[in-house]
Structure 1
């Protein structure tokens, strides 16, 4: 698995996506593709980008459909002509390295009433979100798209919420994910045990550390919990390694929550 994402430079701001709390935007890059850009200057800062990067690349490693992620650089002069002051401020605070997801043109939002998901795929997504402690895949906000008749995962920025304070993070790594009861795909997730066996084999320590190594130095500037940036990467890796090693805790919780729905 490559430890590098492609890098692009943002050349044109197209339109904001105001339904996102952090106000991402569709923008064009110097490779002439459109991307949904997640900005470092938004409310949650670079931590949301770290969660997006780790969550997205783990999803890809596990064979789940996710748009390509790229490092997206914003030049200092970019956005000065933007008329909207709120957007102009966001762009000013986002100069440097941001994160982009390939824009799936024509995609429609996943609708749990209309769009059916096979039990195996549902179980894989539920397992992933338990691992990542991703609270953002509910009926209110599914963070899934249908594109060319296939389901695609987007937006993992709310994952790994332990890193907003780093309190008791080692203990949190072993805990069940109680918010899984709100997951939009939980009713279909009947293959969790077999998925658990498969994914524990795929998510080796080596692969987890390869993904953690992708976190840019630039996104760890405002941190003061650990002494070095490498210690931060190591902590993310240890959290995920511990979580995988204790996956029975979150699998059992998900199964119990599913049972309670019946």
Structure 2
């Protein structure tokens, strides 16, 4: 039987109801972690939690959470620590893309992305740091190819992911001496429910094998979370033809 490298540890995954988040819950549970599933769609979370318990014989905790709401995020971390007794891993996965052109972008879409992609990451990280520090655990951030290269479309979304990278690296500079690992995972297109600028999902736009699968990103997150003495600073997962024509 393969060693379960996160046995006895506790993890929180935001945006856990689908895509990268759901795949990450499965990957961490396969490593033996107790997983707290956080997202807004409670029915999906309950179904996934039952699957994890049946397939991996782990404990789970479902905490419906809107990461835009500070008090809900604080309650997410508090309930995890009170119920499980610890927090070793935080996966900041919840994210949102809206609109494209700056000139025509609605202010509501702009604010929604800021509140989800920036505020939510800040709230969760701030609440988790004391507990993750105590365990010498890991803070993980799902970034994006969009947060590494200038792009002519959806620049506001791209800017939020640049912020995530900058924030994560600066947090690493603050908590590295405390033995906390900080990792950024940057996928390009992932076949999930995440919406394109045209309103389609990437799962609808791409056939299997064309772009990255959620499970590939989840495996990268699990790899980083299982490092005991080092910190995987950054991992990029791009489709193989991503730079064709650059």
* Shared fold, TM over 0.5: no
TM-score, normalised to structure 2, is: 0.29
TM-score, normalised to structure 1, is: 0.28
When you count helix as a share of all residues, which structure comes out higher?
2
Look at both structures and tell me which one has the larger radius of gyration over its CA atoms: 1
